Structure 1
Amino acid sequence: METAGLVLAAGEGKRYGMPKALAKHGDRLLVQHAAETLRAAGCERRIVVLGAAADEVRAAAPDLPETVVNPDWATGMASSLKAGLAALAGTPAIAAVILLVDMPGVTAEAVRRILGHAARDALVMGGYGDRRGHPVLLGRDHWDGVARTATGDRGARDYLRTHDVRVVPVGDVADDHDIDTR
């Protein structure tokens, strides 16, 4: 039973001043860090969804796993989520765990905890005290519903609010803050 990993890294980073996929995090790019987090957690199939500056990202990070380009990246995160799920449609993946490129504090251990609940009908989110956040796991049975309801920068948020979601505590091993400024 394969669970795939998706890194959403297509935005132009308006508030940040450049695409966050090209931003440095330690000795590598944020996009490389996110892809490596998924690998370290046990995701064999990983897809990075690119958009703004896709060619630059690929040139700067030639070691990325499979990439897909979201031609509608400017419409928001939802189109990247849809592009990633569409890329997984023909695979044997039973679920997809989603990471955002700008959350380097989400650790492989947090992803492993979420992956422990993978199933075709699963909806799982990381728990940070009284907040829900990433990583997010979407079982395959929910992909069509998520794709139908995802709009703008809301991604799967509206879908998740109307369904039963398992929240797995990860706040002791991860930080869900996103990087919005340099």
Structure 2
Amino acid sequence: MKHTLSVLVEDEAGVLTRIAGLFARRGFNIESLAVGPAEQVGISRITMVVTGDDRVIEQLTKQLYKLINVLKVQDITTIPCVERELMLLKVNATASNRSEVVELSQIFRARVVDVAEDSLTLEVVGDPGKIVAIVQVLNKFGIREIARTGKVALTRESGVNTEFLKSLEAKV
């Protein structure tokens, strides 16, 4: 199962290297990684997606807490969260199919950020499911390049679980 971990660390040189080393020594792959300044000066938030069962994630959490500069580790997989990812997508778009590519990209609220004679570069922001969906839809035109950030996530203060709400809407 994929787990999303939110890790607060002191913003010092080598912290990310130590965390990556911990995962590498134990043979775990980090599927997604996003790092940036947090709400407090001198603190960074690392959001990572890793695969493992609950026992493995619990063990990794304990190991992370042993590292210098790690302040807080939280498995936010089952907690209601706001999750976003950014993707730049370069897709083939000739004169004959350009309008269809633009029309489909608008459905996903993607923005055209570069236009070339035979391609378009799109900026897509959304939850990871949206990112996967637009790639599947535009794949028929030919994807030239993709650059994706890792998932970033914050827990919902409201506690509203949008996945639960989506499942209710699907039943209606």
More strand by share: 2
Structure label with greater radius of gyration: 2
TM-score by length of 2: 0.28
TM-score by length of 1: 0.27
